[in-house]
Structure 1
């Protein structure tokens, strides 16, 4: 017999979660006015005015809804945006800007990238294993914050084998035209394959500050390993996104006959 489980979260958190899910899944469309506080109190089994107000305030802090004085609370136009990792995998061509910028422009957005740090470090265990480093071997870390229309979108920690970086601008604390994938491609290390592992996690303090997260908001963490020819690992990156703003979209083609497996 399945054990009985009770959701012990505060009522306002459960109400906010219910409204949030209806918005992110399209049951409440952008621009829609939410029911009044009195209507929501009735809808959620006669909870208090304070509980409803706290739930709505949380959704406002997450920028999912907005209050309009004298009118009510409305769903914002862009409550959650889908990001397609595959769109960013091909390196930028000679003289072209970083892929993040060109993809943002396709969606009529302004992409930005700010380099936070460049350092030779002892990488986390999973990074060392992914890059096939010897015990104690160091790697190059390049840390960036990516933005869309000025809003912090993604915190990235990208690690590279030092052997690929020696004598290149990757070791310098400055942006690289087209990004590091374009530079690696020009050096004879084109991306041939990547593997993503995506998880929902509680943010670290660094992530919460960098992404300006509301209290209690989880993050999407994608751990990506990029391989070049002969399946040589050339990059391992931790990409952290705010869970309430973005979702990951993967598009895959199935070979003939595979769809029925």
Structure 2
């Protein structure tokens, strides 16, 4: 539903082109405008939103900048194919074969070879806030942090920071600046801490400067932040990971069965 212009301006102070882009973005993300389909013409959008040519063009340009639409001046603008990706968080606990991409990365990409992770840093840090709480450690406790940037089709997709209690990580591959064969679930199991349960807390936030730069975000759009706690036997928290991805490009898929 589109509100009359005066009423919309009173309730939503964003510029008109930003409001138009928001409505079209929702239609793209929900599938009302299918991948490969044409956006409504400028003439149609002018009537629908009671807006000028210039305002419509600014709105469409926002969608192009965000990678949701493609097209050039004087040609039809279409919804980009295969842009929004669905991620199944449960897949991140599946071990990977030696040398293979993690299964959840391959699933999110058009082809397995298009997904890769770049290790940014491995360092000892002192945890605080929700990370300390999730690990069950006092504020300021030492931990080992592994930071990665996940890329899909050569575009930054997710910024990942994984924290491990120092007693678990010290002297193991977790504390070394190199890729872990088979991923951390495999290594943690080998160390005697098999992952048994994972709990996700997902929130939408405005990107920090680091996140904005690393993910090459096109504007003031929200990011999805997932705080994941992995538990081993005896409900022992062995890993807490903060994952941040562009909110307009991804959806998370969770599956539940009746108990």
Q: Does the pair score TM above 0.5?
A: yes
**Residue of 129, 132, 137 corresponding to 2:133:** 129
Q: CA deviation at 1:70?
A: 4.3
Kept in 2: contact 1:87–1:103 (CA 8 A): no
1:163 to 167, 174, 186: 167
Distance 1:42 1:209, change over 3 A: same
Cα RMSD, aligned residues only: 1.8
Deviation at 1:90, TM superposition (A): 2.6
* Partner residue in 1 for 2:71: 67
Would the alpha carbon gap of residues 133 and 247 (structure 1) be closer, same or farther in structure 2, given more than 3 Å must change?
same
Rounded to whole Å, the distance in 2 between the matches of 1:105 and 1:9 is 33
Structure 1 segments (4+ residues) deviating >6 Å: none
Q: Once structures 1 and 2 are overlaid, which stretch shifts more, 69-78 or 244-253?
A: 69-78
1:113 pairs with 2:112 = no
Equivalent residue, structure 2, for 1:143? 147
Q: 1:28 aligns with which of 33, 57, 62?
A: 33
Q: Is the 8 A contact 2:151 2:157 kept in 1?
A: yes
The offset of 1:211, in angstroms, is: 0.7
2:246 corresponding residue in structure 1: 242
Aligned to 2:102: 99
Instruction: Measure, in 2, the Cα distance between the counterparts of 1:98 and 1:171.
Output: 21
Mapped contact 1:226–1:236 kept (Cα < 8 A): yes
SS for the counterpart of 2:220 is coil
Contact 1:191 1:228 in 2 (8 A): yes
Distance 1:24 1:106 in 2: 17
1:226: which partner in 2? Answer: 230
1:213 to partner: Cα distance? 0.4
Cα displacement (A) at 1:105: 8.0
By how many angstroms is 1:237 displaced?
0.7
More helix by share: 2
Displacement after TM superposition at 1:106 (Å): 7.8
Q: Which residue of 1 aligns with 2:13?
A: 8
Alpha-carbon distance in structure 2 between the residues aligned to 1:183 and 1:252: 27
Residue 154 of structure 1, CA deviation: 0.7
**Number of equivalenced pairs:** 249
CA-to-partner distance for each residue in 1:142-199, whole Å, 9 max, x for gaps?
A: 0000111111111011100001112112112121112222211111111100110100
Superposition deviation, residue 102 in structure 1: 6.3
Q: In 2, Cα distance between the equivalents of 1:107 and 1:253?
A: 28
Distance 1:197 1:64, change over 3 A: same
Counterpart in 1 of 2:48? 43
What CA deviation, in whole Å up to 9, does each residue of 1:44-80 have, x standing for no partner? Answer: 12x1111111100100011100014543111111231
Structure 1 unaligned regions, length at least 5? 256-261
**1:92 partner SS:** coil
Q: Secondary structure at the match of 1:72?
A: coil
Q: Give the 3 Å change call, closer, same or farther, for CA 169–136 of structure 1 in structure 2.
A: same
Deviation at 1:220, TM superposition (A): 0.3
Partner of 1:259: none
Measure the CA separation in 2 of the matches of 1:153 and 1:63.
Answer: 13
Taking the aligned partners of 1:218 and 1:37, their CA distance within structure 2 comes to: 27
Q: Distance in 1 between matches of 2:188 and 2:96?
A: 11
Rounded Cα–Cα distance in structure 1 between residues aligned with 2:105 and 2:205: 29
| 28-37 or 8-17, which deviates more | 28-37
TM-score in terms of structure 1 length: 0.90
